[in-house]
Chain A
Amino acid sequence: SQTIHQWPATLVQPVGSPLSLECTVEGTSNPNLYWYRQAAGRGLQLLFYSVGIGQISSEVPQNLSASRPQDRQFILSSKKLLLSDSGFYLCAWGTGTGGNEQYFGPGTRLTVT
């Protein structure tokens, strides 16, 4: 069966510091991978998605970036965090076929101070 991992689970970082969040998927090959941000327990904002190694699509302009160095690894980064980057970051994987069902990881709670 497939499993998706995210770490760290929680993170407190000062404004201006760098960021690296990691997501890995087990039990599937060539998944579509997604980064979402959720503010205040509400809607899901799609940040980036990838349909293959090295292929990244950005949905919103911001100071975040994403990379996919391996088939089942997706990384969210920032060189300098802003207060507005605080939120709950969710990684998801999908097959990209059929109904495009997506399956979410446990999330990372980021607080920028």
Chain B
Amino acid sequence: GQQLNQSPQSMFIQEGEDVSMNCTSSSIFNTWLWYKQDPGEGPVLLIALYKAGELTSNGRLTAQFGITRKDSFLNISASIPSDVGIYFCAGYTGANSKLTFGKGITLSVRP
């Protein structure tokens, strides 16, 4: 079945640094979504991407829909302590009502 690969499992950065995460697949997706989950809460949708090559920003976050439609990346600039959490990518093929999720990357920000 379809899988989304996110690695590494954990990332540790210094406050103020930029960080980039990517999400890859062997399958093509029509939509890429990025979510952030704070501890003990439900994931929150950060950015949605709908077209190959699309680059979208949300504050300090920027995400891109890969040209091949098999990958996406998320950049966080000038990280702050509240950026800690688990970042999930998700893809939608359009074929059914389900999303395919990556396993997530846990981000830690050292002050």
- Cβ-defined partner of A107 (8 Å) among B41, B94, B98: B41
B97 touches A104 (CB 8 A): no
Q: Within the complex, what minimum Cβ distance (angstroms) separates A16 from chain B?
A: 27
In the assembled complex, the Cα of A65 lies from the Cα of B31 at a distance in Å of 29
A100 touches B99 (CB 8 A): yes
A99 touches B30 (CB 8 A): yes
A interface footprint on B88-103 (CB within 8 Å = 1, 0 otherwise): 1010101001110111
Residues in A neighbouring B86, C-beta threshold 8 A:
41-42
A51: Cβ under 8 A from any B Cβ: yes
Which B65-110 residues sit within 8 Å CB-CB of chain A?
Answer: 86, 88, 90, 92, 94, 97-99, 101-104, 106
Interface residues on A, range: 20 to 34
In the assembled complex, the Cα of A92 lies from the Cα of B88 at a distance in Å of 15
Which A98-113 residues sit within 8 Å CB-CB of chain B?
Answer: 98-107, 109
Q: List 8 A-B contacts (CB under 8 A).
A: A49-B97, A92-B42, A99-B31, A99-B92, A101-B45, A102-B33, A103-B45, A109-B40
Interface residues on B, range: 20 to 34
Which A62-91 residues sit within 8 Å CB-CB of chain B?
Answer: 90
Residues in A neighbouring B35, C-beta threshold 8 A:
104
Q: Given A41-B39, A107-B40, A109-B40 in contact, is the A102-B104 Cβ separation under 8 Å?
A: no
Looking at A41, A94, A102, A107, which has the most chain B CB atoms within 10 Å of its CB?
Answer: A102
- Cβ-closest chain A residue relative to B92: A100
A46: Cβ under 8 A from any B Cβ: yes
B21: Cβ under 8 A from any A Cβ: no
Residues in B neighbouring A90, C-beta threshold 8 A:
42-43
Q: Within the complex, what minimum Cβ distance (angstroms) separates B39 from chain A?
A: 7
Q: Within the complex, what minimum Cβ distance (angstroms) separates B107 from chain A?
A: 13
A99 touches B103 (CB 8 A): no
Which B30-50 residues sit within 8 Å CB-CB of chain A?
Answer: 30-31, 33, 35, 39-45, 48, 50
Q: Within the complex, what minimum Cβ distance (angstroms) separates A109 from chain B?
A: 7
Q: Within the complex, what minimum Cβ distance (angstroms) separates A76 from chain B?
A: 15
The 9 closest A-B pairs by CB, nearest first: A104-B42, A99-B31, A43-B103, A100-B92, A44-B101, A104-B43, A107-B42, A32-B97, A96-B97
